[in-house]
Structures are given as C-alpha cells and as structure tokens.
Structure 1
Amino acid sequence: MSTETAEATGPLPRPSRNTRPPTAQAALGVGVIVADERGRVLLGRHHSGTWELPGGKVDPTHESVAAAAVRELREETGLVVDESAVDVFAMVHDVIGGINRISMGALVHLGSGVPEVTEPHLISAWRWTAPEELPATLFDPSAQILAAWRPDLEVPHPPAHVLRISGRPDGPAAGG
C-alpha cells in the first residue's frame, strides 16, 4: 500500500473549532422604536391582545441588527427608512424556557409616513401612542426595550439585563 493511498483513505480532519457552529442557546431579535415628529411611538395590536413594537428576528445571513430593523419595519408596516437612520441603543437579555433571548433596541425618528397593516394574520392595527400613555398590555420584549429607552416611564416588564450600547439614547436625529 502506498503512502498516497493510506492518506486518501484515512480519517478526515475535524473542522476547526472556529468553523464549527455552536450549540444553539440564544435567539437574537430587534425591536424598533419608531418615533414621529410629535414624540409618539408606533405600536401594533397583535391578535393575542398585546401591543408591540415593529421588529423580529435577525436573519442568520450576516444581516446586521440595523439592517434587520430596516427590513422588519418595511415588512411589518410598509415604512421605509435608511439603515443609517437606525440607532441601535441597547441590548436586552433575558431567559425564556432555557434559551437566552437577546433583543436589540433600535430607534428611528420618522418625519412622515403612514404605517400599513401588511401582516394582518399577526397585527390588526398600528397606532401612534404618547410614551406617557403606553398600554398596560405590552409584549414583554417590547416593554423591556421601551424601559431601556426611557427608564423614566417606569414601564412594567419582566426582569432583564440591559447593556446600553449608544451614547445618545435619543439617537442621531435628537437634538440636531
């Protein structure tokens, strides 16, 4: 048996530790606070009865959090913003059913636009709401993101770890 034959039929090398996917233990999403010129935020009425921010999962296709925010906002409301207008301001972390849930808080200031119900099987209506008048029936991740954005509102929410990742909680459009 030649050396070449032995090498060709030997065991295949194991993938590098850097290329093997980790065991799934987390879910990554983004919640988008859309603020209008009057300071109101956009909330959607889910068929389950809760109110929620536009948002959803970050695609596992090398999509950035800001790109996911733009995509989810467009898919769910028909509103179009540029990725550069998105301020990712916080990471909120909690655990549900043994899975780490990581929700990124993103803020967009919108000068104009009318949200549409583009996913009627999920959301029945979109409404602009003053931050001081948030409904009590908020979707937990939305409540956590709103509380990270404006702690002064004292939004009731399940416990979560918050890591602020932006120096300006009101985003790039605030204050000029």
Structure 2
Amino acid sequence: MVTDPQLPSPPLVGAGVIVPTGDGRVLIGRRTTAGEPPTWSLPGGKVDHPGESFEAAAARELAEETGIVLPAADMRVLAVLLDHELGRTRVTAAVLAPPSLAEALVTEPHACAGWERIAVDALPEPMFYPSAQVLAAWLPDYTAPPGTWHYPTPPHPA
C-alpha cells in the first residue's frame, strides 16, 4: 500500500481510564516512553480491534498496563475528547472505571516506571496531555491545557 503524503494521517482513537479509589485518590503512572519527556499518566491507549468499544478498550488497556481486571460493562464513558496536539487528529474517550484498590503492576516497564494512587487535589505535573484532558472531563476544578474539545456524554440510566 502506498501512502499519499498529501492525505492527512488517520486519526488516533483511544481511551484514558480513570480508576478512582473511593477515598479521593486516583491511579496515576510515571510515564517513561523513549523519545518523550517523562510525564504522569492515567492508564489507557488505542482502540485496537475492529468493533472494540471505548469501554472494552479501556478494560483491555487497564489489564495490559496494570494487571487490574475490571469488566468493560462496569466502565462508563464520561466524555469524548478531540484534539490536534500531535499535529494530527486524536479522539480520546474519558472512561470512568469502578473504584478499585487492586494492586497495580508494572507490566510495561519500557513505558511506565510505576503506579501510584494520588489524591485528586494533589495531582503531579507534568501530566501527559491526553490524561490531563481526561482528568478535566472528570474533575470540575482540574485545569487542563487548552486545545481540546470536550463532548460530555449523558449519564447512563440506573
């Protein structure tokens, strides 16, 4: 397949996973991806499979990155976010997982130096850009960098 350099790159589509503890903390990792400055990050990643939902991608990425297994059916999309921070279109779902205190393992040491549960009123900087946007969709007082469109989703019926 030949790629036309005049055509835009396909969008990146992913999910950022908010894993609260139930006591005012959230799971955050120390992102150490080669070629990028170190940042803090929520678990998350790309929607990989045809037909994979944001919730399924969130559950899969959470398990792959931390070893924490939570059902996709218990995940809730809070908002869909659109940005162009990388010079290309990125669509990210802000996905809220159910509260969990399960041990978070470092399963991808090339990308994450460790996981911590940090108070939401003391979140560290610098935050990975998509994670900052996801946190802003969840925490009304969290200030994220500008440049992202937030599309909140309606609450799910009980």
Is the TM value for this pair above 0.5? Answer: yes
- Aligned counterparts, 1:3-22, within 5 A: none
* Alpha-carbon shift at residue 111 of structure 1 (Å): 3.7
* Structure 1 runs, 4 residues or longer, greater than 4 Å off: none
Match of 2:29 in 1: 44
State the secondary structure of the residue aligned to 2:151. strand
C-alpha distance in 1 between matches for 2:49 and 2:100: 31
Equivalent AA in structure 2 for residue 43 of structure 1: I
| Shift of residue 74, structure 1, vs aligned partner | 0.1
> Which of 19, 42, 52 is residue 34 of structure 1 equivalent to?
19
TM-score when normalising by structure 1: 0.77
Q: Which has the higher contact order (CA 8 A, sep 6+)?
A: 2
In structure 2, what is the Cα distance between the partners aligned to 1:121 and 1:30? 20
Give the C-alpha shift of residue 158 in structure 1.
Answer: 3.2
- Per mean C-alpha deviation after superposition, the further-off stretch among 32-41 and 106-115 is 106-115
CA contact (8 A) 2:84 2:147 kept: no
Q: 1:158 aligns with which of 140, 146, 157?
A: 146
Quote how far apart the aligned CAs of 1:167 are: 2.2
**How many Å apart are 1:95 and its aligned residue?**
1.0
TM-score, normalised on structure 2? 0.86
Q: CA 1:25/1:114 → structure 2, altered by over 3 Å: closer, same or farther? A: same
Question: C-alpha root-mean-square deviation of aligned residues, in Å?
Answer: 2.0
Counterpart of 1:96 in 2: which secondary structure?
A: coil
Give 1:91 shift: 0.6
User: How many residues in Structure 1 have an aligned counterpart in Structure 2?
Assistant: 148
Aligned-pair distance for 1:112? 3.1
Partner of 1:20: none
- 55 and 111 in structure 1: CA distance in 2 versus 1, 3 angstrom threshold: closer
Deviations 1:124-160 (A, max 9, x none): 010001111011210000001101111223x232321
Matched residue of 2:60: which SS?
helix
| Structure 2: segments with no counterpart, 5+ residues | 1-7
Identity over aligned pairs, percent: 41
Give a deviation string over 1:43-85, Cα, whole Å, max 9, x none.
1001132000000000142111110000000000000001111
Among 148, 155, 158, the residue aligned to 1:167: 155
Q: How does 1:107-122 map to 2 (within 5 A)?
A: 107-122=96-111
How far apart, CA to CA, are the structure 1 residues paired with 2:40 and 2:76? 22
